[in-house]
Amino acid sequence: MRWGRRGVRSDRFAGVDIYVFHRAATELGFELDAAQGRAAAALAAGDRSLYLWGPVGRGKSWLMATYFDALPDGRKLRVHFHEFFRDLHGAIRANGNDLSAALDDLLGARDVLCFDEFHVHDVADGKFISRLLGELFDRDIRLIVTSNYPPRALLPNPLFHDDFVPTIELIEQALTVLAVDGPVDYRTTGGHETGFAAGWWVSPGTSEQLERLGLHPPGPDESRTLAPTGHPIRVTRAAESVLWIDFAELCETATAPTDYLALSRDFPQWVVSGVPALRTIDREPAQRFANVVDVLYDRDVTPIFLATTPLTTLTADARLPVDIERIMSRLGQLGRRELDSAGIATHR
């Protein structure tokens, strides 16, 4: 029995008790807003695939994670956009360019696939995603997608958007589309305690600032070359759990999200030095920086960014990468040690 374009198989478990969402919210000290409540009810029901979209910080990923954690172990998979694509392309190569066989390898007999941070900006990705979604919608699996974009805003480039409209219509047919767009950006209400949120934005990175954070710049003999996915990346320190790397090497060379994902598995703490104002660099390095922030946030890596500019002026007069609102929201969680225009140290 196929459910893809209609609903979820009745003999598969894909629903949960709605109370798990209210309990999880209470434990974090808030109540579900109206939009979150509608999404939670749809997730709990288990009878349709869902596309949850909305501005940054409204709880889309939290709702997905709460739902995912409440499902029985085993026949479920939650994966980030970058990580899924990396693994899928590898599986396609291993299966002689057979997409269906590659999905069989990755998904097996899973009942639920949670696909976080879905977006389509590149025309080549758009063509591949069209094939991928067609395959997924013909499988006995419940698909849960989160995105910062409504389906009609995917692949916004006017030169290619019309070609993607049939895929958008397929998404709207196969998935129930819900806006999670409440009034509160919950990423601005969290504490500065652990993981990504325990990181710092440091500007301009004086010796005194580094000393206060217990940082000691690497010596020349600590430099080494890593190859997390086969591509050589020069780092200034890779010791114990800490990776220290310069922005130019990380974002101005041909690195990719697969490199950042691999490095994040080995190094739970990163120091990225020499971060410039985005107006001084091209769009491609700026986009790589945005991808770095996404990966570090999703992997809950603790970062310290040593920047030439305060965070408030990072994007001034710049040709901005896509999803900049999400990136700035995530960076806004970091503690800050900055020198103001008068040379006075500030921090929060």
Q: Mean pLDDT throughout 244-271? A: 93
Q: Mean pLDDT throughout 308-312? A: 94
Residues 155 and 224 in one domain: no
Residues 194 and 157 in one domain: no
pLDDT for position 86:
78
How many percent of the chain have pLDDT more than 70? 91
Higher-confidence position of 42 and 343: 42
Alpha-carbon span 178 to 304, nearest angstrom? 36
- Give me the domain span that covers residue 117: 19-179
Residues 323 and 246 in one domain: yes
What digits encode the pLDDT tens for the residues 140-187?
A: 899 999 998 899 999 888 888 999 999 999 999 999 999 999 888 776
Residues 148 and 116 in one domain: yes
Residues 156 and 251 in one domain: no
Examine the fold and report which residue of 157, 179, 201 is the final residue of a domain before the chain moves on.
179
CA 189 to chain centre: 19
CA 124 to chain centre: 20
What digits encode the pLDDT tens for the residues 14-40?
A: 789 999 999 999 988 889 999 999 999
Cβ neighbours for 41, distance < 8 A, ≥ 6 positions apart = 18
Phi and psi of 141, rounded to 5°? -150, 140
Number of domains in the chain: 2
Tokens of 265: 């598995």
What is the DSSP-derived secondary structure letter of residue 18?
T
CA dihedral 323, 329, 334, 336 (to 10 degrees): 100
CB 53 within 8 A of CB 150: yes
Q: Is 190 helix (H, G, I), strand (E, B) or coil?
A: coil
What is the pTM assigned to this prediction?
Answer: 0.68
Examine the fold and report which residue of 179, 206, 231 is the final residue of a domain before the chain moves on.
179
User: Buried (b) or exposed (e) across 263-281, using 16+ Cβ within 10 A?
Assistant: bbeebbebbbbbbbbbeeb
